[in-house]
Amino acid sequence: MSLEKVFFGFFILLALTLNFGFVLGEFDNPDHHNTYELLAVIIVNLIATVLKFGDRTQTGALLLASSLVADLQLLAAAVVWAYAVHVHAGGLDAMFMASIVSLAAGALLANIVSVVLVIIDTVNLRR
């Protein structure tokens, strides 16, 4: 067992589960989505992205691409949240919350792709 692979799998799964936890709840209700959970998702996704830099295989390129997509969508969600709270006169309403959760759901899909790719790669190593 490689400790590096354990950390790699840990951060990929943690990014997926945190992202799922943030998306879970009523789509447009700000009370169901925590700011600090979005921050945790962004940080864990960025760590998972850095861990994928060293892999030069085709699967590694797909993993990095899916992670970059998740990072981009989560950062866009954070920008929308900051705009709604600090710039928009109406504050954080249902429309902004729906946009934030939609962007996080897109990141969730990219994280699911990452986990599926890791599982496929692991299964192929055993053959």
| Calpha distance 34→25 (Å, rounded) | 11
How many angstroms separate the Cα of 107 from the Cα of each of 56, 70, 76, 81, 86? 23, 4, 10, 15, 24
Burial 76-93 (b: 16+ CB within 10 A, else e): bbbebbeebeeeeeeebe
Mean pLDDT of 44-61: 90
pLDDT digits 0-9 by tens, 73-127: 999 999 999 999 999 999 999 999 999 999 999 999 999 999 999 999 889 886 6
Q: How far apart are CA 107 and CA 41, in angstroms?
A: 10
pLDDT given for residue 55 in this prediction: 81
pLDDT in tens, 17-39: 999 999 999 989 999 999 999 99
Instruction: Please tell me the pTM assigned to this model.
Output: 0.91
